[in-house]
Amino acid sequence: MLWGRWAERWPYSRTVRDETIAIHGGYQGESTRAVAVPVYQTVAHDFINAAHAGAIFDLEAPGFHYNRINNPTVDVLEQRITALEGGAAAVAVASGSAAVRYSVRNVTSMGSNIVAAPQLYGATYTYFAHVLPTEGTEVRFAVDDKAASMERLIDASTRAVFFESIGNPAFNVVDVEEVTAMAHSHGVPVIVDNTVATPFGMKPLCHGADIVVHSLTKFVGGHGTTLGGVVVDGGRFPWAEHPARFPMFNEPEPAFHGVVYARDFPHNAYAVRCRTVGLRNEGATLAPLNAFLLLQGLETLPVRLERQQQNALAVANFLAADRRVAWVRYLGIADDPYHELASKYLGGRFPPLVTFGPVGGYEAAVRFFDSLKLWKRLVNMGDAKSLVAHPASTTHRQLDAAALEQVGITADMVRLSVGLEHIEDLLEDIDQALG
Cα–Cα distance between 378 and 358 in angstroms, integer?
A: 19
More confident residue, 281 or 61: 281
Residue 323 CB contacts under 8 Å (≥ 6 apart), including other chains: 359
pLDDT tens digit string along 345-355? 999 899 999 99
Helix 288-320 crosses helix 423-434 at what angle (to 10 degrees)?
60
Cα torsion for 43, 44, 45, 46, to the nearest 10°? -120
pLDDT value, residue 396: 67
pLDDT band at residue 398 under the 50/70/90 scheme = low
pLDDT tens digit string along 44-55? 999 999 999 888
- Give mean pLDDT, residues 236-251: 97
From residue 141, give the alpha-carbon distance in Å to each of 170, 207, 420, 428.
15, 23, 36, 41
End-to-end CA distance of the chain: give it in Å, rounded.
Answer: 55
pLDDT tens digit string along 117-134? 999 998 999 999 999 999
Cα–Cα distance between 391 and 394 in angstroms, integer?
A: 5
- Give mean pLDDT, residues 107-122: 96
pLDDT value, residue 349: 94
Spell out the domains of the chain, with CATH numbers in brackets: 6-289 (3.40.640.10), 301-434 (3.90.1150.10)
Residue 332 CB contacts under 8 Å (≥ 6 apart), including other chains: 309, 312, 313, 316, 339, 342, 348, 350
- Give mean pLDDT, residues 35-52: 93
- Give mean pLDDT, residues 85-112: 98
pLDDT value, residue 15: 75
pLDDT value, residue 112: 98
Determine what percent of the chain is predicted with pLDDT higher than 70: 95
pLDDT band at residue 12 under the 50/70/90 scheme = very low
More confident residue, 52 or 28: 52
- Give mean pLDDT, residues 365-385: 95
Distance from the Cα of residue 324 to its chain's centroid = 34
pTM over 0.85? The answer is: yes
Q: Using the predicted structure, report yes or no on whether residue 10 has a pLDDT greater than 70.
A: no
Cα torsion for 382, 387, 393, 398, to the nearest 10°? -20
Tell me the residue type at 255.
A
Q: What are phi and psi of 355, to 5 degrees?
A: -120, 150
Residue 288 in contact with residue 67, Cβ under 8 Å? Answer: yes
pLDDT band at residue 4 under the 50/70/90 scheme = very low
pLDDT value, residue 3: 38
pLDDT value, residue 384: 97
More confident residue, 296 or 7: 296
Q: Using the predicted structure, report yes or no on whether residue 8 has a pLDDT greater than 80.
A: no
Cα–Cα distance between 350 and 399 in angstroms, integer?
A: 28
- The DSSP string of 112-176 is -EEEE-S---HHHHHIIIIIGGGGT-EEEE-SSS-HHHHHTT--TTEEEEEEESB-TTT--B--H
pLDDT value, residue 2: 41
pLDDT value, residue 128: 97
Average predicted confidence (pLDDT) for the chain: 93
Q: Using the predicted structure, report yes or no on whether residue 401 has a pLDDT greater than 80.
A: no
* Choice among 8-22, 184-198, 311-325 with the minimum mean pLDDT: 8-22
DSSP state of 253: B
SS3 231: strand
Cα–Cα distance between 44 and 64 in angstroms, integer?
A: 8
pLDDT value, residue 122: 85
